[in-house]
Structure 1
Amino acid sequence: MRPGYTEADEDRWVPEHGKSVYRSSFERDRARLLHSSGLRRLGAKTQVVSPHGDDFSRTRLTHSLEVAQVGRELGRLLGCDPDVVDAACLSHDLGHPPFGHNGEKVLNELAAGIGGFEGNAQTLRILTRLETKRFHPDGRSAGLNLTRASLDAAVKYPWRAHEAPIKRDGTRSSKFGAYEDDLEVFQWLRQGVEGTRKSMEAQVMDAADDIAYSVHDVEDGIVNGRFQLKFLDDDVQRARVIQTTQEWYLPETDEARIDVALTRLSANESWVRESDGSRRSLAALKNMTSEFIGRFCGAFWTATREAYGDRPLVRHEADLVIPQETLEEIQVMKGIAANYIMASREQMPIYARQREVIEGLHALLLETGDRFLDPQFQADFHAADDDAGRHRAIIDQIASLTDGACLEWYATLVRGRPVTNTLFA
């Protein structure tokens, strides 16, 4: 066992007799994630650009693999078990429904009466219920039955909906890590932890996620012709990017500080002002992303080691130290992509169409009950004690679909078949 971890960290929700002679418990966790159907489905789910738009852009799967690489190395340098961080990174997006954050928003509205929908809470549900590897003695699914350390590392928001932090405007954050009907396993994995603090491994996973998509979304946007970094030389466009960054990611940061962070980034010799799609240009973009990943990880590692010294930093014994300037640089990179891709007016009709598809499919499944559900969700539907449980089975079904499958279900079931059976009042 790696220094700093205890036997309790290796416990599984359902005890498993006998340990592998050639793999650690945490290595087995990582293997279970790699072989999961949920991870495979991420290959056909939207990251930023639709996975069907071109052959280059990242999907949720390739993004997760890249996050795992960044997180594994950063975690190892800090003393975390690399496989715990790797497993958390591989699983961090499992709960995302079709159509990315837009799909998550729509499903949350549709599930408002049963506790809402949250991608991170859905990840925990997949790991501990929907993606089956082991079962409890009473027949309930225990999901992949990962170790306590790996499950805790995968919980990005370790609180329930009513415990979510209060935002600056006085409202509660919509982010949370567990639904009420997954409370039993949530309490089990959080045994011995006070409050809502994240484990060190979860903090590394979260940082790796931010680092990876901040640079890779910019790279994808440039390669897809959405923008060029030379656009930021124009005062109007630069101001728009700064405004988007502040509104989306740094609401409490003065625009002047955001401008300075952008200046620091653009002063880097690897900054690619213009790319023409040639091999040399693509290589330059790869070099830029590599340089910035190294820059951000190096800043985190240096600041954290200065605070805690050289001892292994695991579980709930330390916190990742994130320098303010580095945080602002990462958010500026995210703001560039948000301005030219996510907030683009060109995306609005696409988002509206995605909403129509999910709402239409949801309405049909509510009216037809278990008729069109996959067998595993049919079983959940029949095992439910009430309408809320049956509704949750339908939400789980829709969330499991890839972008393409969701569109196909809608075209086949909603457009091609009349709705006649009403099972829900």
Structure 2
Amino acid sequence: MPVEPSDTHLAGPRDDEPADARRFVEETPKDTGHGRSPYERDRARVLHSAAFRRLAAKTQVHVAGTDDFLRTRLTHSLEVAQIAREMGARLGCDPDVVDTAGLAHDLGHPPFGHNGEEALDRLAAGCGGFEGNAQTLRVLTRLEAKVLGPDGVPAGLNLTRASLDAVSKYPWPRRSGQRKFGVYADDRPVFDWLRAGVPDGGVRRCLEAQVMDWSDDVAYSVHDVEDGIHGGYVSLRPLLDDPDERAALCVDVAAVYSGESPADLNEVLVDLLDEPVLARLAAYDGSHRAQVALKATTSVLTGRFVAGVVAATRERFGPGPHRRYAADLVVPRRIRAQCALLKGIAWRYVMRRPDARARYDRQREILTDLVSVLADRAPDALDPVFAPLWRAAGTDVARLRVVVDQVASLTDPAAVAWHDRLVRPGR
């Protein structure tokens, strides 16, 4: 239930509350006898949010719902949160802050994964573009229904400063020539509040955000390969047998995921494929024994990527505890290269497979049609959550942003259903 405006007011300094635990809209304390920390409350708010539930039907790499084994944005987010919580705890971060960041980091992703994100970025050019991380901040601080400010303006989940900062993977506005950014122009007030006091010119990421980001890399590099092998899209045999195929993969990875040269990546790849835990997957047949071997491989790789980073960070900054801006995460060069190569395997053999092009084109067509028809039929065609926001928008730019918010909120099946209803009625 939303907090009534009379129960909230703009947050100001309080003697009994550290700055990291403050909320943009101050709330009347509740459940004081339960002893929950502000960060435990943040985690619960994300878990119980509608945006989090919708991740169950949003594409990770494979289309959501096509195979019960494969991951969705929801299962991916749960795995990122688990990895982040464990890694953060080893370093001395508040475990609930990094857990919250892992759970929340993909709330802003639209239907159809990164393909949908790229499509909406083009469609939203007139209102500053679209970026999943900037949209996540918008969901957390504006769109999700939980708290209202004293003026009745939605404040989203109204998470603490520390948790919002931990979700800020790219803590800067859009820059020329740079695809990734973390805040839209009209969300700057809450962004400036959560980033107040950040050292080193205000663009440094807190340790918790770095832990979440590396946990995200680990999760999708390892798990996307696991899903690809199980689904029959990825076979390691060509990489084991063919030097030219290894070289081609390394060229792809150098172009998309790594600053390493293809030659240096090839050296790391040869060593990686030579490890028994990976080599034995070349004969994967989907049997129970094969699935055990596959799961053992993901466990070994995940453990290596976490332990190696924790050890390197402690070596540079001491045993800790470390949190916020007391340290930076140290990722050894070889571990980063191994992770990039696994990402490249998923990209080359799953996301770029020949039969994917027609599906990607259709997905972009659906989102293009939806933005167009909703812009024409708003506010009547919008959900009750978004229609008042459209009416309150004072410019065409602001109204376009509301339409994009509506489309971005949809799950994959909902986007198709809305398209059938609004664009292709009666067909």
> What corresponds to 1:322 in structure 2?
331
Residue deviations 1:314-353 (CA, integer Å, cap 9, x gap)? 1112100011111000000001111101122221111111
Q: Which of 403, 409, 413 lines up with 2:418 in the alignment? A: 409
> What corresponds to 2:260 in structure 1?
253
Secondary structure in structure 1 of the residue aligned to 2:146 = coil
Q: Which of 226, 246, 251 lines up with 1:243 in the alignment? A: 251
Measured in 1, the distance between the counterparts of 2:311 and 2:276 equals 22
Counterpart residue type for residue 196 of structure 1? V
> What corresponds to 1:12 in structure 2?
23
Measured in 2, the distance between the counterparts of 1:373 and 1:51 equals 24
Q: Which of 221, 229, 233 lines up with 1:222 in the alignment? A: 229
The residue correspondences of 1:158-177 to structure 2 (distance < 5 A) are 158-162=171-175, 172-177=177-182
How far apart are 1:395 and its partner, in Å? 0.3
Q: Which of 80, 97, 119 lines up with 1:84 in the alignment? A: 97
> What corresponds to 2:406 in structure 1?
397
> What corresponds to 1:71 in structure 2?
84
Secondary structure in structure 1 of the residue aligned to 2:385 = helix
Q: Which of 203, 209, 221 lines up with 2:210 in the alignment? A: 203
> What corresponds to 2:287 in structure 1?
278
The residue correspondences of 1:262-411 to structure 2 (distance < 5 A) are 262-271=269-278, 272-411=281-420
Secondary structure in structure 2 of the residue aligned to 1:135 = coil
Measured in 2, the distance between the counterparts of 1:248 and 1:304 equals 26
> What corresponds to 1:421 in structure 2?
none
C-alpha contact 1:215 1:292 (8 A) present in aligned 2:
yes
Secondary structure in structure 1 of the residue aligned to 2:36 = coil
C-alpha contact 1:240 1:339 (8 A) present in aligned 2:
no
How far apart are 1:417 and its partner, in Å? 7.0
Residue deviations 1:89-109 (CA, integer Å, cap 9, x gap)? 100000100000000001000
C-alpha contact 1:49 1:58 (8 A) present in aligned 2:
yes
> What corresponds to 1:165 in structure 2?
none
Query: Structure 1: which 5+ residue stretches go unaligned?
Result: 1-5, 163-170, 419-425
Counterpart residue type for residue 90 of structure 2? L
How far apart are 1:404 and its partner, in Å? 0.4
> What corresponds to 1:37 in structure 2?
50
Residue deviations 1:37-69 (CA, integer Å, cap 9, x gap)? 101000000000101221111000000000000
Measured in 1, the distance between the counterparts of 2:213 and 2:236 equals 26
Measured in 1, the distance between the counterparts of 2:61 and 2:328 equals 30
Runs of 4+ that moved beyond 3 A: none
Secondary structure in structure 2 of the residue aligned to 1:71 = helix
Secondary structure in structure 1 of the residue aligned to 2:394 = coil
Identity of aligned residues (%): 52
Secondary structure in structure 1 of the residue aligned to 2:42 = helix
Residue deviations 1:160-179 (CA, integer Å, cap 9, x gap)? 113xxxxxxxx621111110
Secondary structure in structure 2 of the residue aligned to 1:345 = coil
The residue correspondences of 1:25-64 to structure 2 (distance < 5 A) are 25-64=38-77
Counterpart residue type for residue 113 of structure 1? G
Measured in 2, the distance between the counterparts of 1:274 and 1:379 equals 56
Measured in 1, the distance between the counterparts of 2:414 and 2:384 equals 16
Question: In the comparison of the two structures, how many residue pairs are matched?
Answer: 404
Counterpart residue type for residue 77 of structure 2? S
Secondary structure in structure 2 of the residue aligned to 1:84 = helix
Counterpart residue type for residue 225 of structure 1? G
Let me know the Cα RMSD of the aligned residues.
1.3
TM-score (structure 1 length as normaliser): 0.93
Counterpart residue type for residue 289 of structure 2? R
Residue deviations 1:227-275 (CA, integer Å, cap 9, x gap)? 211221222322222122111112x321111111112222222112221
Secondary structure in structure 1 of the residue aligned to 2:26 = coil
How far apart are 1:390 and its partner, in Å? 1.1
Secondary structure in structure 2 of the residue aligned to 1:108 = helix
TM-score (structure 2 length as normaliser): 0.93
Judge which range, 342-351 or 78-87, deviates more: 342-351
C-alpha contact 1:95 1:119 (8 A) present in aligned 2:
yes
Measured in 2, the distance between the counterparts of 1:242 and 1:274 equals 23
> What corresponds to 1:98 in structure 2?
111
How far apart are 1:199 and its partner, in Å? 0.6
> What corresponds to 2:128 in structure 1?
115
Measured in 2, the distance between the counterparts of 1:406 and 1:284 equals 37
> What corresponds to 2:194 in structure 1?
189
